[in-house]
Structure 1
Amino acid sequence: MRGTTMFSTIRRRHFSTITAAVALTAVAACATTTDAAKSTDQPTPTRISTAYELPGDRVYPEGIAVDVRSGDTYVGSYANGAIYHATPGARRAEIFLTEGTDGRKTTNGLKVDKAGRLWVIDSTAGVAVYDTATRAMIARFDVPASTPHMVNDLAITPDGTAYLTDSTAAVVYRVTPAQLADTAAHGGKAVLTAQFDLNAELAAHETGTFTLNGIVTDDSGRYLLAVDMTAGELYRIATEPNSPDPIRKVAMHGGDLKHGDGLELHGDTLWAAHNTTNTISRWKITDDGATATLERSITDASLSIPTTLVRTGDQTLVVSSQFDKGGPMGPGTPTNPFTVLTVDGI
């Protein structure tokens, strides 16, 4: 509970200075596209619709993951830590793990690895790993209680290594397959350790400011891309040992990633959810991850604070969090049911 209180306080303080500006931006920019999109020949029209509903009247979803073996998706509740499961074509998700399972207070980033294990981040504690077939917890990795933290998102490279961002510590944790197997075989609990420290690389910011958020891996697993949501910058992190250039700021053309939350990378195309501006952007990644060029961006108030997104088949599924309607970003009443959206044209 102490960790939850700290996180809520930090998050509300971070967003309180931009709430009014965001409200005006969202209304004024509703259903707009960037000049980059307009300059393309006959861009695909944007259409936003409901993919499926989530059960519960105060879900406030935050993360989403897809199991590439089946196309099933998993969504987590920031409000209570529950996990929801939806099969392809389902109009309503079902509860996969009930709220408070294994003491989880909240759910942030989610990912399903190639072995069918579901990785679930609790921002106040760390990450737990579940067998999707049995729903049993395999292992958990916690941040030391004395360390100020807000574990946020994760990426899993092709070799099965997981990398997790910490938004207040500005570090990236690592869990290797060997560490996962060893922890599962010896009590199921271990401590997260930082593999990359980006504090010296990030733009100057006040202590406690949210920085690192979404993180993805390229197809080869040679590098990661992580967003600094406050500065709007993107960082390339080399995973190869003894890299001569382990961390570099990506050169960005045509825009930025301010308020950048969840990321999705397929080949050389990167998608980003910009939460408080109700924006989804698409970028071309070139030069082995050194350059990002904005290709298209849509802003629409109906996205209702999109926290993350995932590509499955030809769909772009976007989590509509409604954090600003009685959730962690402000008072109010959410519109029920909570939904995962499908966004065409991005």
Structure 2
Amino acid sequence: MYRAPWRRSAVVAAIAASLFISSAAQAAEVPTHGRVSTAFEIPGDRVYPEGIAADPHTGDVYVGAFEGGAIFKVTRGQRVAKEFLPAGADGRTHALGLEVDRARRLWVVDRGTGIAVYDIPRHRLIARFVVSGDADRLVNDVAIAPDGTAYITESRRAVVYRVTPQQLEKARDHDGPAPLTPAFDLGGFVDPHQPNAITLNGIVAAPTGRYLLTVDMSGGDLYRVELPSGRVSRVALSGGDLTQSDGMELRHGTLWVAHPILDANAISRWSVGKDGRTARMTQRITDQALQLPTTLVRKDGGLYVVRSQFDKGGPVGDGIPQLPFSIAFVRI
């Protein structure tokens, strides 16, 4: 399987920086036992899962591999996922953010290039969108708005890309990749960070289609992007912050967030105001059984949480991963 050559890249630095979170902040987190179990296993000894999505029609769950970009699928009742798309297919080297839209298309983010769109029933690539130029980039996560538009975060440049249904249809009619271009630039809103720091990471779309929420992983802030204007504002947080936040899930005014924090594996739950301008943390659990959670999806009355194990011989640290790789089920 493909071995990622950028073991000490900015994403590594961003997660590893969590080691220096103040002891007072860590002491405020109370471990919660008995809520974390194993939902299913993922075959392979160097998978290091990163992204997850659920098909709204079938309930099938898809998981993307950080190393090699393989996509795995598990159906209800299965205990071991099966390979859906092989590693390296269509030039894909990493699979980060995943999303399944209402038309049963699987959107897969490849950190170095852009995003690929697959027809699930046919197992077929239907479109690719790539970022032009040779500049270093980290295309990261994706959210699908109610109108079918996809929004994708770029973590080095603090921009949000956009793919409309019209752009998708046009890309399907042409051979070769289509350009992935920025729609919203948050560079002027995100607080200054060290060079190459990870900024925008997880992203979700409000069910009303009125706004997006995206998190600054390094700064701990949550931003609201109004649609379609792109007007940006900082969400007023209470009860905590979102430092070292990764993937998110938004349902009925509740926001769940994965925190891949070394030595304090955590998931937080937030109550979001009706207009998306405020968010209050209502619960935070920590459990080493989360194994560096990168993202999550709400399903079956709980959360399916990706156990990345990035710190066990993966992109964050040395060591030996606990096999098999797996997805956790968490009640929060």
- Calculate the TM-score normalised by the size of structure 1: 0.90
Give the drift of 1:18. 4.0
Q: Which residue of 2 aligns with 1:41?
A: none
Query: 1: CA distance between counterparts of 2:152 and 2:7?
Result: 17
SS of the residue aligned with 1:196? strand
Aligned residue number for residue 179 of structure 1:
167
Residue number among 136, 158, 163 corresponding to 2:146 in the alignment: 158
Show the counterpart of 1:303: 290
Structure 1 counterpart of 2:133, which letter?
A
Change (3 A) 1:140 1:120: same
How far is the alpha carbon of 1:186 from its aligned partner?
1.3
On the 8 A contact 1:325/1:332 being kept in 2, the answer is: yes
Q: 1:325 aligns with which of 312, 315, 318?
A: 312
Measured in 1, the distance between the counterparts of 2:10 and 2:24 equals 23
Q: Which whole-Å CA distance do the structure 2 matches of 1:30 and 1:198 have between them?
A: 31
Corresponding residue to 1:114 among 88, 99, 102: 102
Q: Which one of the candidate residues 183, 193, 196 is aligned to 1:205?
A: 193
Q: Which residue of 2 aligns with 1:227?
A: 215
Q: CA deviation at 1:15?
A: 3.9
Return the letter of the residue paired with 1:146: D
**Are the counterparts in 2 of residues 29 and 299 from structure 1 also a CA contact under 8 Å?**
no
1:113-152 equivalent positions in 2, closer than 5 A: 113-152=101-140
- Matched residues in 2 for 1:137 and 1:8: separation? 31
Distance 1:329 1:217, change over 3 A: same
Give the equivalent residue in structure 2 for 1:12. Answer: 12
Is the 2:14–2:244 Cα contact (8 Å) retained in structure 1?
Answer: no
Partner of 1:36: none
Q: Residue 261 of structure 1 aligns to a residue in which SS?
A: coil
Cα distance in structure 2, aligned partners of 1:25 and 1:211: 24
Residue type matched to 1:186 in 2?
H
Query: 2:240 aligns to what?
Result: 255
Aligned-partner residue type, residue 213 of structure 1: N
Does structure 1 conserve the Cα–Cα contact (< 8 Å) formed by 2:6 and 2:315?
Answer: no
Q: CA-atom RMSD, angstroms? A: 2.1
Q: Check whether the contact 2:7–2:315 (CA below 8 A) recurs between aligned residues.
A: no
Aligned to 2:38: 50
Map 1:239-250 → 2, pairs under 5 A: 239-241=227-229, 246-250=231-235
Cα 1:319/1:69, change in 2 over 3 Å: same
Whole-Å Cα distance in 2 between the matches of residues 231 and 301 of structure 1?
Answer: 24
How far does residue 11 in structure 1 lie from its aligned partner after superposition? 2.7
Amino acid at match of 1:32: P
SS of 2:9's partner is: helix
2:69 counterpart of 1:84? no
Identity of matched residues, %: 49
Which residue does the alignment assign to 2:260?
275
2:93 matched residue in structure 1: 105
Give ranges in structure 1 of 5+ residues lacking alignment.
34-44
Q: Say if 2:253 and 2:274, in contact at 8 Å, map to a contact too.
A: no
- Cα separation, 2, equivalents of 1:226 and 1:275: 16
Cα deviation, residue 47, structure 1? 1.1
CA shift, 1:224, in A, is 0.4
What amino acid sits opposite 2:99 in the alignment?
Answer: K
Q: Which residue of 1 aligns with 2:56?
A: 68
Q: Separation in 2 of the partners of 1:23 and 1:84?
A: 37
- Structure 2 spans left out of the alignment, 5+ residues: none
CA distance in 1, matches of 2:124, 2:132: 24
Q: Distance in 1 between matches of 2:170 and 2:199?
A: 31
- Give CA deviations for 1:201-230 in whole Å, capped at 9, x if unaligned: 011112210010000011111100000011
Q: In structure 1, what residue type is equivalent to 2:247? A: G
Distance 1:217 1:337 in 2: 33
Of the candidates 247, 264, 274, which is equivalent to residue 249 of structure 2? Answer: 264
8 Å CA contact 2:15, 2:244 repeated in 1: no
Q: Distance in 2 between matches of 1:75 and 1:81?
A: 10
The match for 1:288 among 262, 266, 275 is 275
Check if 1:237 corresponds to 2:218: no
Aligned residues: 327
Is the Cα–Cα contact under 8 Å of residues 29 and 284 in structure 2 kept in the other structure? no
CA 18–157 in structure 1, closer or farther in 2 if over 3 Å, else same: closer
Structure 2 vs 1, CA of residues 275 and 207 (structure 1 numbering), >3 Å: closer, same or farther? same
Q: 1 CA distance for matches of 2:150 and 2:36?
A: 32
Q: CA distance change for structure 1 residues 63 and 319 in 2, over 3 Å: closer, same or farther? A: same
Q: CA deviation at 1:25?
A: 9.3
